[in-house]
Structure 1
Amino acid sequence: MSEALLREILSEVSGIKKDITDMKLDIQALKQGQESMKLDIQVLTEEQSQIKQAVLETNEHVIQLTEKQNKQYAIFDVPSSRSIEQEAMLKRIH
């Protein structure tokens, strides 16, 4: 083989080695990105769990408030109805 051919082959091999090195760096960066995403997913999962708990607690409070409001409505409804009825009777009298 001629020296020129050997240099050309050596140049090609060097180029391939550089490409492989670049690919390894890219793969390493992808792996780091993947690890970062895994941590993000873990945090999001924990936050989702906390949000679910907060929603359940809020829902429970809303149910309690609704029950109290219904009781209060019932308490005020009877006197209010009597008052309206009494006013109607007073209008009929006058």
Structure 2
Amino acid sequence: MNNELKDLLRSVIKEELVPINDQLNHLKTEQESMKKEFAPINDQLNHLITEQEFIKQAVLDTNEHVVKMETILDNQHNIIELLSARSIQQEVELKRTR
């Protein structure tokens, strides 16, 4: 009778677990469906992240070029001021000699 009781208990437990197993299988199926549904979104996010890195590098490169251009413009401005001062000084000296 001990074995019969064990078998009966096993049978009852199996019957009670059937709906739970069915629900788990349903959840697994839904989860797989959702993974497939979100795969393109994940791909797009990865693509955006990659593009963002390229944009970031382009901005850094552009910033570097702008800094170089600012330096060149500052140097040019200093040269123009120096040349203007020399020109004015030469004009003043020329007027004095006349």
After TM superposition, the score normalised by the length of structure 1 is 0.68
Cα deviation 1:36-76 (Å, max 9, x = unaligned): 11111111111111111111011100000001111222333
Aligned to 1:67: 89
Q: 63, 73, 79: which is aligned to 1:41?
A: 63
Q: 5 Å matches for 1:47-86?
A: 47-76=69-98
Query: What is the one-letter code of the residue matched to 1:65?
Result: S
CA distance in 2, matches of 1:20, 1:10: 15
In structure 1, list runs of 5 or more residues that go unmatched. 77-94
CA distance in 2, matches of 1:44, 1:6: 55
How much does 1:11 deviate? 1.4
Q: Identity of aligned pairs, percent?
A: 5
Query: What is the one-letter code of the residue matched to 1:75?
Result: T
Aligned-residue Cα RMSD (Å) equals 1.9
Aligned to 1:20: 42
Query: What is the one-letter code of the residue matched to 1:58?
Result: I
After TM superposition, the score normalised by the length of structure 2 is 0.66
CA distance in 2, matches of 1:73, 1:35: 57
Cα deviation 1:1-41 (Å, max 9, x = unaligned): 27665433311122223322210110110110110111111
In structure 2, list runs of 5 or more residues that go unmatched. 1-22
